[in-house]
Structure 1
Amino acid sequence: MSSSSTNHRDPNSPATSLPPTQSGGSSGIEGNVDHEGEKEPVTGMTFSSEDEVTRYYMNYAQCKGFRVSKISSKNGDDGRKYFTLGCNHARKYVTHRKNVSKPNPIPKEQCKARLNACMCSDGTIIISRVVVEHNHELGPTTQRYYNRSKVLGTRMKRRLELNDQGGTNVRSTFQSLVVEANGFEKEDDTRWLQLGIGDSEAIQNYFVRMQKQDSRFFYLMDVDDRSRLRNIFWADARCRAAHEYFGQVITFDTTYITNKYHMPLVSFVGVNHHGQSVLLGCALLSSESTKTFIWLFATWLECMYGRAPNAIITNHNKAMKNAIELVFPNARRGLCLWHLMEKVPEKLGVHSSYESIKTLLHGVVYDSLSQSDFMERWGKMIEDYELQDNEWLKGIFDERHCWAPVYVRDSFWAGMLITQPSESLNSFFDGYVNSKTTLKQFFERYDNALRDQIERENMADFYSFNTVIACISHFGFEAQFQKAYTNAKFKELQVEVASMMYCNTCFERLEGLKSIFSVVENKKVCDKIEDVVFSVSFNEEDFELHCSCCLFEFTGILCRHVLCVLKLMGKTESVIPYYVLSHWRKDIKRRHTLVKCGFDHLAGHADLQRLDKVCDAFYEVASMGINTDDDLLKVMNWIKDLKIKLTCEETSPRMIEA
């Protein structure tokens, strides 16, 4: 059979990354907030009432991306009323929590942004003092996450009463109210769409509709010589933009092919700065052959502008392995350790000493401290229980460089390789696909799955910007990570800070410019408490650190052993930027958060509206007829000059302040 491909793809190179505008947030003061922008407050502004100035400042805060609190209110000796509205990050946080190792997120950073106002004898309000600068990053457009008044309006109460009389369940009623109140972003009727013309037509119609709404939507359909659909790949603009930041390590998930669902769905999934799953493309496959996987990987690579991953996690499949070696020759392949260990009962359960083998195998895999230690323990297990003829153990031993922690921890895997699926990125569409789901139904639900993932990321962004997890030590490097990392990743760093109490550090020797330290950690190994020795090298001149546990190389989080060495050397104020991994930072403006998806509603999102208009304008320029190298050079120089101008305008206030 011959093959052909029908494709619809983005003809453009990656869009120019423009600096996003800070936005979002609502008030901590009860009441509704308008969604229109407000100009910056200045001294001398007058208002007719306290409510009016409060609404004004709440609207302004929402546009800028912070929350408002009423800081003070008092009556002066002159008979006037004075009050102060300010950023919710004002005041210093004092914890009353007894367990200081598990602090709650708090939004207090002693921020000075505020306005002071006084009420004149005629009732008018005059702003007497304004501070607009904040000492923290402003959040994204997430005003719906702020606490609001819990009081229902008269209309909503009446709706609840009528729905109750009509037999509508409470869950449906509240969902309709939340959608009506813009509680969920990007709602549409996709999930209810009944195409009724067969799966192939439904898929084609879905792609045509998506590309009409999103000019950077990419798909490729592989058909045979009788026009029968074989394989499909697709990715929307947000997936493609997210790959720029989270495509370094990806999981190729075949859960729905290999499990009871028998759904021919596979997905490319990365991990975002919160450790959450982020979709990087999907496909429907007719087979699991090497040829099919080569087609798929090559198509995905083309969609992602030729940027191959550094590492890719798959299951134990020879066809995938062959395709990866051809399409991603420089990528390191990993096998999900959790899935391998899940097969232990199936592969070894019939053995008379199964429980003992299972316990011993767990210790070999998770508690080996070096490759030689792993080899010694593995060999002893095989010999003691006469497992030389077990083909499954032979197979995974030959692939140990792809899954055993002591072999893979020298590379960055973004925490994906050894975690359980519930903690990592497998089964992205769980809850949207079941054993009875048809392809037509899946495409009706696909937008909802993406919408939920985007909502989870937006919510995590909101809390990372607007709450602060208190430090559990006085070390400067902990405060450094507190300001830089998302809440989820800062908590992981705090586990290492707290675990320093189990470590003892001593200097061993000099090796050239490197000081070698031994760190003895009292830890649990094979259900026993033992002292385990780790080796840390520190080049003080270059601030170069390395620990034999390789936690930083593996996850991007500095380990307790390195932190103990910094403490011993008196280097606790900060670490160099190299050790503050950009993948986990909350203060990076990532372009994918401003990319319009095909199911987006842009009403009320000024930043998305602006970006969408700019992208459309750039696309129009690119389509006008750039027929010569001179035309191309002229346009590229213009874009370069524009980027410089916008960057200067964005940074100039900070430069003036400095």
Structure 2
Amino acid sequence: MESLNSVVGSNEQIKEPHVINVSDSDFGEDGMDEVSSIPFQSPGGGMYWKPRVEAEFKPYINQSFRSLEDGIEFYRDYGRKSGFEIRRHTEKKHEDGTVLLKHIVCSIAGRNESKMNVDYEDFSSSSKKRRRTHSHFLVSGSGKQFLKSNRVLGLAYKKLVFDGAKANMGPNKTYNFAKELCGSYSNVGATCTEFKNWSRYVKLYIGDRDAQMIIEKFTDKKEMSDGFFDDYAVDEDGRLTRIFWTDVIRRRNYDVFGDVISFDSTYSTNKYNIKFVLFTGLDNYKKCVVFAAGLIAKEDIDNYVWIFEVFMKCMIREPKCIVTDQCPAMKQAIPTVFTETRHRLCMWHIMKKFNQKLAKCISKMDDFKRKINALIWIIDIDPATFEVGWKDVIKEYKLESNEWLCELYNIRESWIPAYYADDPLAGLLRTTSISESENSFFDKFNRRSDTLTEFYLRYESAMEKQRHTNARLNYEGTKSMPRMDGPLLLERDAAELYTRTMFYEVQKEIMSSCYDMSINSISEEDGVKIFSLKDKKRHGKIFEVKHAYLNNDVQCMCRLFEKMGIVCRHGFFALNQADVTKIPRHLVVNRWTKGAEMRHSLQFKEISEQCNAIEVTNRLDGERLDYLEGKLKELKHSLRESSLKSDTQNKNDVMEFFVGSKIPAEVIVKPPIEGRNKGCGRRIVGDYEKSISQRKKKCSESRFTALNLDSV
């Protein structure tokens, strides 16, 4: 056992240099180092070991330190390099609390000798020679990394664990990643256990304060930005049941791209199993863009009405169209709030049920689906043509009495494109695929065990990636021009107006206007030129397009401009015939142009910068250098004092910095109870899915048999 005698004030302010009195037997009569790593045997027959370390790390007689903690840290480092742990032992204090004597011992000193060897030390004050020896093996070089004093998770690694979780990296993956950064596991300075412990402490820090912390976090965000909006509701027990949030960027995006939105809910995003709902649309690159998000405890009418009302309160105007699945609660809630919005059902969700519902009724399912798809997915046909075709197919396969098909036919106006072809941007969304895409996108960031606070941090990380993708596309669109496929000036004008994604779609229409059109007839009436064009790409179908000389307005019976917001090939043909070199600006829809989000109608306040960069000049005179040196000393002293805080307090400070939320002084809003919603339990597998799985199983068995026969 090693002893450290030091004198320090109770308030840890230094009154005089602190002397550590170390017995001189460790160093010999002249104080020189005689430590050896070779074990030796005492006169009593016991085995002992002396540590071997570099001279700069070894204690010496009359060594002094600035403070008691500095001395203890020195001995901790000495033990770390020698291969043993230390711990604080007995101490003596003055009446005023000043520490007069402090013993630092090996971590296993004083344990039961019947169980293990223990250190032997002579503490006789009259002894001039006191051996610093250990009665146990000292840890070897490769094992020193596992000493507790060497397994300290630094702030950088704590940040790595915390930020790695935002990218859905668990502590194991983060630890392996840290190893690759450092070159080896021994260079990490901690084991996987420390990484796991810190990850677990995140949840302990949040605990039952989860809902209150997320509410206070949103309150802080509203104080920082007027554009941030949130709302929540609690039950009679004060438990959170639903919450909604969005920020100024997403509100601005809704103003520009919120004409057609998709709404869907997903599960397995948090530990409470409450549903995550998203309002999603398409931006000017046809990429998914989130307008707002929320969490609801149940998928019922009351919760959906609440989330829609809060959405309207935030966004002011209704969307032109909202696409959802066939959820009965949504079906009743949407018209209650969105009185002017057209509610359409996801075609994909309906079409995927055909096999399940009709497999037993139809022997030639592929032929039936081919004929029915020709009616359902084609947007050019009119309702009358669809109805005739539908009845013919149903009659051919003798399905007139099928209740499910009859129900679909009764609600045909909500999912068949022929009935909403005249709606603005009707062809933009026909399914909730962008919602499914966003759900899959968020799955890469969140985990089922996340608290609400953790979930929101991962949500923000996902949104940051979405904004980064948009910024990258903006940059790529400005650094160069896309390739021109033809000589028309209309094509070059389109390249300057539209985003790269939309330009390629417009370019196809322009090129088709040059090579796929043939004039059937031309007439003129009241300043309007009427072209009758035969479209080779549309199987020779005749399209009539009108071109007004006065304002270069074009109208085509294909109605592509109304459905998608871009001029069709027939319209470009008419413009080219009139030698128009620039696309008329009233035919350019803002949502598809470069920088569309900057031309919004609502006046949103700019997000102010939270901190200013500090510029430090390179030319500092002597007075400034002295001032800087003094500030650095003060900072060093304050950091040393802060390190003397309890471990828990330091952890909480670090966690507050990472999470961005303080521990609430009072918990008013309690966390939600775990919900039981659709999708949270085990799903019942239908007959069609069973047949598919059995078919796959038979195929795998036949392949396995074939492989075995080949090997014989």
- Tell me the TM-score normalised to structure 2 length: 0.53
Deviation of 1:217 after TM superposition, in Å, equals 1.9
Which secondary structure does the structure 1 equivalent of 2:445 belong to? coil
Tell me the distance in 1 between the aligned counterparts of 2:373 and 2:451. 39
* Conserved 8 A contact 1:251-1:313: yes
* Conserved 8 A contact 2:346-2:430: yes
- 1:381 paired residue among 393, 406, 411: 393
Tell me the distance in 2 between the aligned counterparts of 1:411 and 1:168. 63
Q: 1:419 to 1:287 in 2, by over 3 A?
A: closer
1:209-220 to structure 2, matched below 5 A, reads 209-220=220-231
| Equivalence for 1:504 | 518
Tell me the distance in 1 between the aligned counterparts of 2:526 and 2:266. 50
Q: Which amino acid aligns with 1:328?
A: F
Which secondary structure does the structure 1 equivalent of 2:433 belong to? coil
Q: Provide structure 2 residue ranges, at least 5 long, that are not aligned to the other structure.
A: 1-177, 189-198, 616-712
Q: 1:328 to 1:358 in 2, by over 3 A?
A: same
* Conserved 8 A contact 2:561-2:567: yes
Higher relative contact order (CA 8 A, sep 6+): 1
Kindly provide the CA deviation profile for residues 138-161 of structure 1, in whole angstroms up to 9, marking residues without a partner as x: xxxxxxxxxxxxxxxxxxxxx998
| Equivalence for 1:533 | 542
Kindly provide the CA deviation profile for residues 184-236 of structure 1, in whole angstroms up to 9, marking residues without a partner as x: xxxxx9x9786233643453344244335434321111122222322211112
Q: 1:168 to 1:459 in 2, by over 3 A?
A: farther
Tell me the distance in 2 between the aligned counterparts of 1:468 and 1:480. 11
- 2:373 paired residue among 362, 365, 374: 362
Q: 1:341 to 1:415 in 2, by over 3 A?
A: same
Tell me the distance in 2 between the aligned counterparts of 1:396 and 1:512. 45
Q: Which amino acid aligns with 2:579?
A: K
Tell me the distance in 1 between the aligned counterparts of 2:336 and 2:589. 30
Identity, in percent, stands at 28
1:226-265 to structure 2, matched below 5 A, reads 226-256=237-267, 264-265=275-276
- 1:585 paired residue among 593, 605, 613: 593
Aligned length: 420
Q: 1:522 to 1:376 in 2, by over 3 A?
A: farther
Deviation of 1:416 after TM superposition, in Å, equals 3.7
| Equivalence for 1:317 | 327
Which structure's CA Rg is the greater one?
A: 2
Q: 1:604 to 1:579 in 2, by over 3 A?
A: farther
- 2:299 paired residue among 284, 288, 307: 288
Kindly provide the CA deviation profile for residues 42-92 of structure 1, in whole angstroms up to 9, marking residues without a partner as x: xxxxxxxxxxxxxxxxxxxxxxxxxxxxxxxxxxxxxxxxxxxxxxxxxxx
* Conserved 8 A contact 2:250-2:290: yes
1:87-126 to structure 2, matched below 5 A, reads none
Tell me the distance in 2 between the aligned counterparts of 1:605 and 1:352. 75
* Conserved 8 A contact 1:233-1:299: yes
* Conserved 8 A contact 1:220-1:234: yes
- 1:476 paired residue among 489, 496, 509: 489
Kindly provide the CA deviation profile for residues 548-594 of structure 1, in whole angstroms up to 9, marking residues without a partner as x: 22211111111112222333x33341232111111111145617999
Deviation of 1:245 after TM superposition, in Å, equals 1.6
| Equivalence for 2:182 | 163
| Equivalence for 1:72 | none
Query: Is residue 2:563 matched to residue 1:554?
Result: yes
Deviation of 1:380 after TM superposition, in Å, equals 1.1
Deviation of 1:435 after TM superposition, in Å, equals 5.3
* Conserved 8 A contact 1:566-1:572: yes
Tell me the distance in 1 between the aligned counterparts of 2:406 and 2:471. 45
| Equivalence for 2:353 | 343
Q: Which amino acid aligns with 2:473?
A: A
Deviation of 1:423 after TM superposition, in Å, equals 9.9
* Conserved 8 A contact 2:256-2:597: no
Kindly provide the CA deviation profile for residues 126-149 of structure 1, in whole angstroms up to 9, marking residues without a partner as x: xxxxxxxxxxxxxxxxxxxxxxxx
Deviation of 1:327 after TM superposition, in Å, equals 1.7
1:319-468 to structure 2, matched below 5 A, reads 319-350=329-360, 351-367=362-378, 369-371=380-382, 372-413=384-425, 416-418=428-430, 421=433, 426-427=438-439, 429-433=442-446, 439-468=452-481
Q: 1:574 to 1:317 in 2, by over 3 A?
A: same
Kindly provide the CA deviation profile for residues 222-276 of structure 1, in whole angstroms up to 9, marking residues without a partner as x: 1222223222111122222222222222221224499xx9650111112222222
Deviation of 1:282 after TM superposition, in Å, equals 0.8
Query: Is residue 2:227 matched to residue 1:225?
Result: no
Deviation of 1:462 after TM superposition, in Å, equals 0.8
Structure showing the higher strand proportion among its residues = 1
Q: 1:482 to 1:423 in 2, by over 3 A?
A: farther
Kindly provide the CA deviation profile for residues 467-490 of structure 1, in whole angstroms up to 9, marking residues without a partner as x: 210221122221111111111111
* Conserved 8 A contact 1:336-1:418: yes
Q: 1:478 to 1:401 in 2, by over 3 A?
A: farther
Tell me the distance in 2 between the aligned counterparts of 1:377 and 1:262. 45
* Conserved 8 A contact 1:505-1:564: no
1:177-192 to structure 2, matched below 5 A, reads none
Q: Which amino acid aligns with 1:573?
A: T
Q: 1:311 to 1:161 in 2, by over 3 A?
A: closer
Deviation of 1:419 after TM superposition, in Å, equals 6.2
Tell me the distance in 1 between the aligned counterparts of 2:468 and 2:531. 45
Q: CA RMSD in A?
A: 3.7
Deviation of 1:357 after TM superposition, in Å, equals 1.5
Q: 1:385 to 1:214 in 2, by over 3 A?
A: same
Q: Which amino acid aligns with 2:357?
A: K
| Equivalence for 1:570 | 578
Tell me the distance in 1 between the aligned counterparts of 2:599 and 2:437. 22
Which secondary structure does the structure 1 equivalent of 2:442 belong to? coil
Q: 1:224 to 1:364 in 2, by over 3 A?
A: same
Tell me the distance in 2 between the aligned counterparts of 1:584 and 1:605. 39
